[in-house]
A and B are shown apart, each in its own frame.
Chain A
Amino acid sequence: MDSGNGTALEVFTSVCDDFYATARAAAASGRKVAGFVCSYAPQELLHAAGYLPVRVLGRPGGTPRADQLLQAYACSLARSSFDAALSGEFDFMDLVVFSHTCDTMQNLADLWRSSRPNQKVVIVSAPTVTSGPAALSYYRKVLADVREQIEALSGPISDEAIRASIDLYARHRNLVQRLYDLRREHSELISGRELLAVVTSSMMMDKEEHLRLLEPFVAELESAGDVKAKRLPRVFVAGSVCQNMGFVTALEEAGCMVVDDDLCMGGRSFSLPEPPAGDPMDALVEMYLGRRPCPAFHTPGFDPGAFLVERARAARAAGVVFLLTKFCDPWFFDYPHVNKSLEAAGIPGLLVEVEQNLPVPEQFRTRAEAFVELLKAKAE
């Protein structure tokens, strides 16, 4: 890889080493920052209102402050990000946006609001059902109200500004999708860890800036020509938020290639359809309800098992690793069915429970190595 791309990748990676360094610096220089807790938060609206949207995540270490307000059976994403907020680490955010998903995030939104009275919290009451005229019409009203709440802070947001942000985000998503396509086809060109760095950094950086770095990065990879294919087992990764890239790194160190994913900090958040023309608010409604659903939602006719089998096959994956955040109800309810579907398709699965605020356990490396051995043996 030449130095040009090396530079872009270095930026992406360094952002992942300290998620909020850029946002804090931007805030210090007077830019308004909006934290979003869920990938369903309509970032385009925030961007159009002049905010720098950054994803709210947890961080390594204990959660003593959050533990005073949130039971131990709340997931580590909730406890850790809440602990960071209670410790003042997110005070540089002018605004925090929740979008309704699971019970934990639903209740955390309220706790956050009551515990951080000086920080504006906006809760997007997204419908749980993602299709049908009733849900669309409801979500349309919800987003209109959210726009008003943001406008009360930022001043009027024009339709043109929203459309411009929609287009910018769509361009960026297309690039990320191209990168995912590239990795499926020529997995040697970019590792799972590198792709996660691209995705994660894009949720922490200014969109234009990220796009400026990403465009030549993708173009260069696409023109890289034939690279000798490695004969390593191909692995698909599925799960909730997985902010600790150590898991994917450890997987690859165990001797496999991560060739695709269905992660919240990954491909799932970039699965929105092309923005439809016309009213920009209607476009947001269609895009956010039309995206690949987080398991907390109900999409009539959607079978998560069949879906994952299809995705794993398309990626020619030999196995699937589930990186599920402990206590993530939506995912753990789907898991038995999804895993059975994989079994029926002859694709082995490995279930790993992740605590977002803890380092990768040594035991995970051992299990990853055993899984890779299993995939190798199966291939022979």
Chain B
Amino acid sequence: MSNRMAKKVTNWTKEMALYSLLRATLAKRKLDQKISKALGSGKKSTGAKRIPIKTGDKMKLLMGRYYIRAKVAEKDPDQKIAWITSGGPVEILHAAGVIPIYPENHAAMIGTMRMADSCCATAEDQGYSRDLCSYARSDIGSILSKKSPIGGSPRPDFLVCCNNICGTVTKWYQELQRMFDVPLIMIDAPYQYGEDRPEAIDYVKAQLQEMIDQVSQITGRPFVWGKFEDTVRRSEQALQLWRDVQDMLAHRPAPMNSFDTFIHLAPIVTLRGTQECIGYYKMLQAEMEGRVRNGVAAVEGEKYRLGWDNLAIWYKIQFLAKKFGEHNAALVVSTYAKSFSYQAPYRDESDILRSMAANYIAGYINHGLDYRERELLEMAEKFHLDGFVMHSNRSCRAYSFGQYELARRLEEKHGLPTIMIEADQSDTRSWSDEQVGTRIDAFMESLAARKSNAIK
């Protein structure tokens, strides 16, 4: 048996041992709460009688196994690890046998575990401005302080950054490159103000082609096109399932709350392109179908239906779900959960790479105001919304600048009320339960008044 094979067997044994340990631990519910918090499966009762999603337990195993595999791989020089942005073309990595790690996902876990303030403070001590994105500060701070809800992310062999979500990641990954001194593959996906430009799609396609060559060079193995095509198909199947699950929230009452979708998007971000990801969303879909059949509501006595714009406020998911729940308001759609499943209008079965390039340009936050307005309106119609909750997110200028104008257009042009919540995705330091709570109460009262006026 070759050395490499022997190592593979050893790693597999290690993985299995750790996985069994994870299962046992979960079964005994010893570390349950800790892991559930870190992976954000949110099982705590909120007082508004949220019914736990059973599939959520599977996610702990799924995500736990993924991290175990990555941790074991860290010590294996043959198994390459790449850090990649949430909107990055991960299918190329899966096809090349590279394990993708998502600093943003890690940062979200840090936020959910309320470790962000301490990690951010470490970064700030090192000169990173408090005005920078709290994901970047959390993750950089965690690398420096070694504080992490999962014992840190395994060290990268290379980095892949796609700026289709913001310009912040360009700078964040430049910094990661300096910290780890590894290759950085940059995919530049130009922001679109109108219809997606063909030259921009060509540009991204050319970069994806280059990326394939670079990845192949780094792994030292030829890129197998057939494997890539299979990965893309699996990715597309998972994305379709995820879209279908989100669409089920159009049902009245909604079987799931958008706050739950924030949790359940972890596999689509980290594992799209794998069979496990498909399996997961099939289970979630089946559970939701059951709920729809049985008329199970995520929010008991659902009376109001709201949309959500921008990233989750990770440390306040429970609080917000409860707060809106008290007013019988369900959040049933979000631009954030949908971010990971946008489809481009362009598609060519015979040009898989160009179709992929088009999809990686297609996201909500890679588009200008008119597109965003259209998208929000479509959501309002399809999901029968009474209003929109807009998280004005101090960490994310790309997502947030324009929200005031969008809110104005929604209200003035389309009669759809909005509430603006000024906050941050994971830095808790400027949050106040009381202030936000009061504003939500006032907003819900105004919605109630509108509804009763409409009935009169």
Contact = CB atoms under 8 A, between A and B. Distances in A.
Interface of A: 68-71, 73-74, 100-104, 106-111, 114-115, 123, 125, 127-129, 132-135, 137-138, 141-142, 145, 295-296, 298, 300, 303, 326-327, 329-330, 332-337, 339-340
A298 B129 contact: no
B210 to A, nearest CB: 7
Given A103-B398, A114-B369, 17 more contacts: A69-B404, A71-B401, A103-B168, A107-B398, A109-B193, A114-B405, A125-B197, A128-B167, A128-B188, A137-B203, A137-B206, A145-B199, A329-B171, A330-B167, A330-B171, A336-B126, A337-B175
Contact of B193 (A70, A71, A110): A110
Given A74-B397, A103-B397, A329-B168, A125 B174 contact: no
Contacts of B128: 332-333, 335-336
A339 B286 CA distance: 54
Contact of B203 (A123, A138, A336): A138
Contact of B188 (A74, A101, A295, A298): A298
A69 B398 contact: no
A206 to B, nearest CB: 31
Given A111-B369, A127-B188, A73 B167 contact: no
Contacts of A129: 186, 188, 207
A336 B127 contact: yes
30 contacts: A69-B404, A69-B405, A70-B404, A71-B400, A71-B404, A71-B422, A73-B400, A101-B167, A102-B397, A103-B167, A103-B397, A106-B191, A110-B369, A111-B405, A114-B370, A125-B191, A127-B188, A127-B190, A128-B167, A128-B190, A137-B206, A138-B200, A142-B199, A298-B188, A329-B133, A329-B167, A333-B136, A334-B171, A335-B129, A336-B128
A127 B170 contact: no
A127 B394 CA distance: 26
B426 interface: no
Q: Which of A133, A138, A332 has the most CB atoms of chain B within a 10 A radius of its CB?
A: A138
Contacts of B193: 109-110, 123
A138 B126 contact: no
Interface in B85-142: 126-129, 131-133, 136
Nearest to A108: B401
Contacts of B166: 103
A335 B127 contact: yes
A332 B405 contact: no
A108 B202 CA distance: 26
Nearest to B424: A73
A71 B369 contact: no
Contact of B167 (A69, A296, A300, A340): A296
A97 to B, nearest CB: 14
B368 interface: yes
A108 B131 CA distance: 18
Q: Which of B128, B131, B170, B206 has the most CB atoms of chain A within a 10 A radius of its CB?
A: B170
Interface in B352-411: 368-370, 392, 394, 397-398, 400-405
Interface of A is mostly: helix
Interface of B: 126-129, 131-133, 136, 163, 166-168, 170-172, 174-175, 178, 184, 186, 188, 190-191, 193, 197, 199-200, 202-203, 206-207, 210, 368-370, 392, 394, 397-398, 400-405, 422
A337 B170 CA distance: 15
Nearest to A337: B178
A332 B129 contact: yes
A264 to B, nearest CB: 16
A73 B397 CA distance: 8
A298 B189 CA distance: 13
B139 to A, nearest CB: 13
Contacts of A127: 188, 190, 203
Contacts of B400: 71, 73
Contact of B163 (A114, A128, A134, A327): A128
Nearest to B198: A141
B269 to A, nearest CB: 21
Nearest to B172: A333
A108 B404 CA distance: 12
Contacts of B405: 69, 111, 114-115
Contacts of B404: 68-71
Nearest to A141: B199
Nearest to B210: A134
A111 B404 CA distance: 10
Contacts of A298: 170, 174, 186, 188
Given A69-B404, A134-B203, A327 B172 contact: no
A333 B171 contact: yes
Nearest to B404: A69
Contacts of B186: 128-129, 298, 300
The 9 closest A-B pairs by CB, nearest first: A333-B171, A336-B127, A107-B401, A138-B203, A134-B206, A103-B398, A141-B199, A332-B129, A103-B397
A337 B403 CA distance: 33
B397 A333 contact: no
A106 B369 contact: no
B127 A329 contact: no
A104 B394 CA distance: 12
A332 B131 contact: yes
Contacts of B403: 71
Nearest to B184: A300
Contact of A327 (B131, B184, B190, B398): B131
Contacts of B398: 103, 106-107
A71 B167 contact: no
A16 to B, nearest CB: 29
Contacts of B170: 128, 296, 298
Contacts of B397: 73-74, 102-104, 107, 327, 329
A91 to B, nearest CB: 20
